[in-house]
Structure 1
Amino acid sequence: MGFQIDEPLSPGGRLFVQPATHQIINCVLGLEQPLGYDALVTVISDSLMIKHPRFSSLLITDDQGREFWRKIEVDVRRHVILRPDPVGEAGIDDEEAVNAYIADLTVSCPLKTNKPLWEVHLLSAHKAVVMRVHHALGDGISIMSLILTLFRKFGDPEQTPTIEPLTLKKGRKLGKMEKIVKVLKMIWFTLIYVTEFLLRGLWVSDGKTVVRGGEGVEMWPRKLVTAKFSLQDMKTVKTAVTDATINDVLFGVISSGLSKYLDYRSPDGLQEGLQLTGVALVNLRPSPGLQDIKELMKKNAAGAAGWGNKIGVMLFPVYYHRRSPVPLEYLKRAKMMIDRKKLSMEAFLSHQIGYFVMRFFGPKIASLLNYRVICNTSFTISNVVGPREEITIAGIPVVYMRTTSSSVSHAITMHMVSYAGKADLQILVAKDLIPDPEKLAKCFEDALIEMKEYAIQYQK
């Protein structure tokens, strides 16, 4: 019998098990009809998920406080939790009930450490499955790519969903002088943004607004709502501005929607151009979008290509504007800001700074730095590309796919996942600060509709 050697956690994994930056990813699947407990257990047992080392290992901490993964045999039934009765308040629909259930999980329900750090909640009464995965096991791209092995294409039970990587548009070939200017811009923007990142970890913070959280807010009660977008609408808006992307549109919508909501909550008005800063986790892998799970699971996968938390941090400022007469102005401002961010090395260097602090000062200081950045900003935002085609689990069609994470010291945490032509933005709020998140979701939805209508007129 071979001797199994414990494997130390990666720097990213150590960060996410610290109390101040402890994170669990909650992915919810809405189904067309209820899924049976035994059928779900069978699907998981036959999948690549439990064969993955991270999903079949315990988190162990030694006497010196160092964390390790220890391989064990997985009992799937210990990880699948059946909730046969309705959850939440009476009289609400299935989606609201599931959102309320997840909102409670985000604050006060850690994963047990006497088994691998994942579990699946089967909400039979609401035709939903909630998959909870500790962030130490991997980032959103890794985990989404692995979870998709549980599913099959709609109408083809033998085929797993197609993973189509996003294609990056190639720009024109630059001349020598243009290359020099581009390098100088990269250096300049990198200096500005990395300096701002470090200052945010010390004392620089956003101004006080009705949507601003702060230290301790991560423990406040939460409410979860969904803003629903059409991917086709986002693409229509995208084509109205040269070289714009879906991410540009998303940040334009966030900027416009927050301005609408602040107008509603602060009728006396705020300072024009007031900055609200978002924290975005950025994929550092060479290929954008979902990944081939076999490539991710290669033991010798090098650098940013393999499994794990291959992510950096970018700070994305959006600005309050009173009723801009041209809705696409929000998109143009967002695109200009994001283009500069992409040109810089902010995401890469934020990752390297975290690694340096983790190595030389330890996980507690690294966690404190990240916690201070969160406390001094206003919201969290992420965007993960899901499958483009309809999928099934155990033969049952999936109606929607959404995700959110554990609460942080932000009053607003937003995660968007696209699936089969739809894009759902899960909005997790501290309900004592934002008692009407449905209004906030409506502001985002209205912002996209206004942009689409203007884009259609603009293109005529």
Structure 2
Amino acid sequence: MESLTKALRWRQSSLKPIQITNRSSIANHDATDEEQRPLSPAARLFHQPNFNIYIIAIIGFKNPINPRVAYEKLPQSLLKHPRFSSLQVVDDKNGGIMEWVPTTVNLNNHIIIPNIPQTLDSHDKFLEDYVYNLSKTSIDSSKPMWDLHLLNLKTLDAEAVGIFRIHHSLGDGTSLMSFLLACTRQIDNPDLVPTIPKKKDSNLGWFSSLRSGHEGPWWKRCFMAVCMVFWLVWNTLVDVGYIVATGLFLKDTETPMKAPAGVELNPKKIVYRTVSLDDMKLIKNAMNTTINDVAMGVTQAGLSQYLNRRYGEGKNSKGATEKKNNLPKKKIQLRSMLVVNVRPSSGIQELADMMEKNSEAKWGNWFGYVIFPFTIGIRDNPLDYVREAKATIDRKRHSLEALVSFSITAIVVKLFGIKALNTITRTTFFHSILIFSNLVGPQEEIEFYGHDMEFIAPTSYGHPHGMMINFQSYVNKKTIVLSVDENTIPDPQKLLDDIEASLKLIKEAVYSKGLVEEGISKATFT
């Protein structure tokens, strides 16, 4: 891998945006209103030296990649969006504000086709090392901050792999998924863009009973409305106070999963595992929950098993490590920053439809975060992991925590500046253990100009955590992606084993408890 390491530039400790005094020196064509806007507070935050975050999407294909297609088709799709054909520059004449400035894109600077040795001991290990070395690098800010790596490398999961990397300032996961939908087509219906399941839940979904006509006299409906508003306000105040306390002093328990300061500058090892989405749907329907509840419950179980093994290392026997409860007697506080889309109306599907029609869409970083406490412990009944996760999520749904955390960024920048926002955000994030994201993907198999997709595995690096966990659905699959600091999580494949085994245990418990009949048709669970 020496040639690979030399081919990739070591990651810089900070990005130095281009400074300009004459806008015409960058581009000589008219800019749209979107291109003339300054960067949002969130986008500027991602340019801070210790919050310099990149998004990576590993995409598996069912057939070899033809690089010529990328050169021919990207100008018709990706480059139509102004953020992928604009620089992020500092305008000295405008108070040093960073702005989007259009430029001419040379695809030779963005499409990378690495040389792959003819003889490899393991193609999957080569891919893992390639992404690991990629996380050591940054993208030169003298060009639009994205690149595409095309590897005709046959792995256990795919015939070829594409790695799409963008700087987080360009957009969030919802933006990227909507753009993927807008740029691809259904394999069975090439004239149609892919679709995703409609989001049924919202933070205010619990008001639906009032809107649909709650039974009872008017005074009872008014009383219920007042109670709902009271609990919404109360829960929000409590959650926001919890965020403030976390930023000031409230830290998670020191466990083997707690990363040291400065972890954001370390390269990340990125691994993934694909499991059955049908199994998660079966659990969801049997327990009357959501896919997100199941994902959180399975993760909670997997983290408990992983920590139990780490605490048991060095004990007398293998059985003592894997089967006995080795967790400390005191309660373990292990919290995740749960990323939440806060766009007021448009979900991924609506955003993709608007982009397909060249309509205005809320692109960018429109997300807040929720502090989610994982309950770590060894449970006799595996279903308890899902029930506990559901109870916590239901409580969080009755709060505006995500929306308030999103709004705070603009307020802090306006009052105290971007450096203050960086300090507050980084400290708050660092006092928790991990970041969690669950993103819904296409329901149909999709293709990009003749290249059929096998899986989608998105994640990030540059975050001040030792671990990030992403769940990404695609047709009937769910891909679990880990981005970890190898000094903190030296064995990420074992953690994937624990999460996958937890899903199996919970599914078996659903059958053993009689919540669903053995052998029932999967078609029932949609």
Give the TM-score, by structure 2 length: 0.81
Alignment check: 8 A CA contact 1:44 1:150 kept: no
SS in 2 for 1:239: helix
Pairing of 1:161-180 with structure 2 (within 5 A): 161-168=194-201, 172-173=209-210, 174=214, 175-180=221-226
Instruction: Please give the alpha-carbon distance, in whole angstroms, between the structure 2 residues aligned to 1:167 and 1:246.
Output: 11
Q: Does 1:27 pair with 2:70?
A: no
Alignment check: 8 A CA contact 2:297 2:386 kept: yes
Letter in 2 for 1:367: N
Structural RMSD (CA): 2.3
In the alignment, which residue of structure 1 is the partner of 2:469? 414
**Counterpart pick for 1:275 among 318, 333, 356:** 333
In the alignment, which residue of structure 1 is the partner of 2:401? 346
SS in 2 for 1:97: helix
1:239 is displaced (CA, Å) by 1.6
Alignment check: 8 A CA contact 2:269 2:484 kept: yes
1:148 is displaced (CA, Å) by 2.7
Sort the Cα spacing of 1:219 and 1:444 in 2 relative to 1 into closer, same or farther, 3 A. same
1:35 is displaced (CA, Å) by 0.6
* Greater alpha carbon shift after TM alignment, 221-230 vs 244-253: 221-230
1:272 is displaced (CA, Å) by 5.2
Pairing of 1:180-259 with structure 2 (within 5 A): 180-242=226-288, 244-259=289-304
- 1:9-37 Cα offsets, whole Å, 9 max, x none, are 11221111222222111111111122121
* Greater alpha carbon shift after TM alignment, 392-401 vs 324-333: 392-401
**Counterpart pick for 1:456 among 474, 486, 511:** 511
Instruction: Please give the alpha-carbon distance, in whole angstroms, between the structure 2 residues aligned to 1:113 and 1:300.
Output: 28
Sort the Cα spacing of 1:297 and 1:136 in 2 relative to 1 into closer, same or farther, 3 A. farther
1:2 is displaced (CA, Å) by 6.2
SS in 1 for 2:113: strand
Sort the Cα spacing of 1:105 and 1:8 in 2 relative to 1 into closer, same or farther, 3 A. same
- 1:384-442 Cα offsets, whole Å, 9 max, x none, are 11111111123121111111111322111111211011011111111112111111111
Alignment check: 8 A CA contact 1:390 1:397 kept: yes
Instruction: Please give the alpha-carbon distance, in whole angstroms, between the structure 2 residues aligned to 1:190 and 1:416.
Output: 26
Letter in 1 for 2:81: H
In the alignment, which residue of structure 2 is the partner of 1:98? 127
Q: Does 1:114 pair with 2:147?
A: no
In the alignment, which residue of structure 2 is the partner of 1:61? 90
5+ residue gaps, structure 1, are none
Alignment check: 8 A CA contact 1:402 1:425 kept: yes
In the alignment, which residue of structure 2 is the partner of 1:308? 364
1:40 is displaced (CA, Å) by 1.8
Instruction: Please give the alpha-carbon distance, in whole angstroms, between the structure 2 residues aligned to 1:343 and 1:213.
Output: 31
Higher-Rg member (1/2): 2
1:300 is displaced (CA, Å) by 8.6
Letter in 2 for 1:54: R
In the alignment, which residue of structure 2 is the partner of 1:38? 68
Pairing of 1:421-432 with structure 2 (within 5 A): 421-432=476-487
Q: Does 1:319 pair with 2:348?
A: no
Sort the Cα spacing of 1:388 and 1:297 in 2 relative to 1 into closer, same or farther, 3 A. closer
1:343 is displaced (CA, Å) by 0.6
Alignment length (residue pairs): 451
Pairing of 1:339-378 with structure 2 (within 5 A): 339-378=394-433
* Greater alpha carbon shift after TM alignment, 429-438 vs 441-450: 429-438
SS in 2 for 1:445: helix
Alignment check: 8 A CA contact 2:435 2:465 kept: yes
5+ residue gaps, structure 2, are 1-27, 155-159, 215-220, 313-325, 518-526
* Greater alpha carbon shift after TM alignment, 339-348 vs 213-222: 213-222
Instruction: Please give the alpha-carbon distance, in whole angstroms, between the structure 2 residues aligned to 1:32 and 1:299.
Output: 30
In the alignment, which residue of structure 2 is the partner of 1:85? 116
Instruction: Please give the alpha-carbon distance, in whole angstroms, between the structure 2 residues aligned to 1:288 and 1:449.
Output: 31
- 1:22-66 Cα offsets, whole Å, 9 max, x none, are 21111111111221211221121221x201111110111133432
1:298 is displaced (CA, Å) by 8.8
Alignment check: 8 A CA contact 2:51 2:264 kept: no
Give the TM-score, by structure 1 length: 0.92
1:226 is displaced (CA, Å) by 1.4
Alignment check: 8 A CA contact 2:50 2:264 kept: no
